[in-house]
Amino acid sequence: MPESSRDFTPSRKSEHIRITTQENVETGSTGFEDVSLLHKAVPELNFEKVSTETEFFGKKFSLPLMIAGMTGGAVETKEINLGLAKAAEEAGIGMGVGSQKAMIEHEELTETYSVRSIAPTIFLCGNIGLPKLKIYSVQQIEKMLLSIKADALCVHLNPAQELFQKDSEIEPDWTGCFSALKTICSELNYPVIAKEVGNGISKETAVQLKEAGVKAIDVGGAGGTSWVVIDGMRSGKDTTDFKNWGIPTAISILEARKAGLPIIATGGLRSGLDIAKALVLGADLAGIALPFLKEFKRGGVPAVEAYIEKLERELRTAMFLSGCKSISELKKLKPIITGKTKEWAEQRGLF
């Protein structure tokens, strides 16, 4: 979960967890309902030999999936991160942590983000908000990542969320962020991934991010968890006109691929079929957050592992029925796109 407060308080982390697991915070459409894969009635494949393995940033994944960065910085978040990391290690997938601003300012909170003791081999992403790059030095960010033995840094982009925070928490000044991002990309000894948190990435922004030096883009599209809604609940601000603001995830993948960088698709993916569609549209990995948190709260690590197994079987089913024995073959398919997603793509010149 992104942390965008000027004054960090652990209670906000707890509030975010409570709201996301107990309230309806998913809004809008991802656009995946407009995407279809062509059925192959004679697949000429052995279902048991369909492989979901892939590589990303030199790391092997058993399936193209990450548990997207969610939390850290409060006592209860330590158990959550360790539980999710254990499931990720067992499944051979990646994971991110929530904003590490808290541990920069309160070193004793580092343990709430530290998962390497239980997940030594996973692809692990650290996390910091874009405006914070104007405040913290490259050395501080480096130390932050080294402390949790991360493989990469996610820089989260959350301007819409910021405006619906409590007034005392808003970070209103985003001037100079591009320059700060260029600096961190050029000087940090870790690859940088730019990550939206639920409002999507346009092709113009994707190109700009590439120019800044990011090595991958997490589109964080609209249609899943809405941080406008979550922080609107906390602040009491009216979110009626902006709860669906943003670029739907399926469309955002089409937009972001214009930059030619690796893409992580997050934002409302809920099934293995969604993952398959995302990869066919141009993503390299899928990221899922809220369902993992809910499963952990419901049944601990076994429930998370069962959900991963469900996603894996659904992805393999989609691959088998599309005639693909590998992720590389799946990514070569041409999707059938209809409805709003087609209209948007045509108007924006995305085909």
* Amino acid 18: pLDDT: 93
- The sign of the torsion formed by the CA atoms of 110, 296, 2, 257 equals positive
- Examine the pLDDT at 5 and tell me if it is beyond 80: no
Residue 7 vs residue 23, higher pLDDT: 23
For residue 135, what are the contacts with CB-CB under 8 A and spacing of at least 6?
A: none
10 neighbors 77 (Cβ within 8 angstroms)? no
DSSP state of 136: S
* Amino acid 11: pLDDT: 77
**pLDDT category of residue 3 using cuts at 50, 70 and 90:** very low
Q: What is the CA radius of gyration of the chain?
A: 19
37 neighbors 47 (Cβ within 8 angstroms)? no
Backbone dihedral angles phi then psi of residue 217, each to the nearest 5 degrees: -130, 125
- Examine the pLDDT at 13 and tell me if it is beyond 90: no
Mean model confidence pLDDT for the chain: 96
Q: Which amino acid is at 286?
A: A
- Examine the pLDDT at 2 and tell me if it is beyond 90: no
User: What number of other Cβ atoms are within 10 A of residue 44's Cβ?
Assistant: 7
235-273 pLDDT, tens digit each: 999 999 999 999 999 999 999 999 999 999 999 999 999
- The token pair at 66 is 């990450």
* Amino acid 211: pLDDT: 98
162-205 pLDDT, tens digit each: 999 999 999 999 999 999 999 999 999 999 999 999 999 999 99
28-50 pLDDT, tens digit each: 999 999 999 999 999 999 999 99
User: What number of other Cβ atoms are within 10 A of residue 41's Cβ?
Assistant: 6
Percent of the chain with pLDDT over 70: 97
- Examine the pLDDT at 21 and tell me if it is beyond 70: yes
Domains and CATH numbers, the chain: 10-348 (3.20.20.70)
Helix extents (H) in the chain: 10-22, 75-91, 101-105, 138-148, 159-163, 177-187, 203-212, 227-235, 249-256, 272-281, 290-321, 327-330, 339-348
The CA distance from 96 to 112, in Å, is 13
CA max distance for the chain: 60
**pLDDT category of residue 336 using cuts at 50, 70 and 90:** very high
The CA distance from 262 to 284, in Å, is 6
Percent of the chain with pLDDT over 90: 94
**pLDDT category of residue 1 using cuts at 50, 70 and 90:** low
* Amino acid 143: pLDDT: 98
- Examine the pLDDT at 6 and tell me if it is beyond 70: no
The CA distance from 53 to 270, in Å, is 19
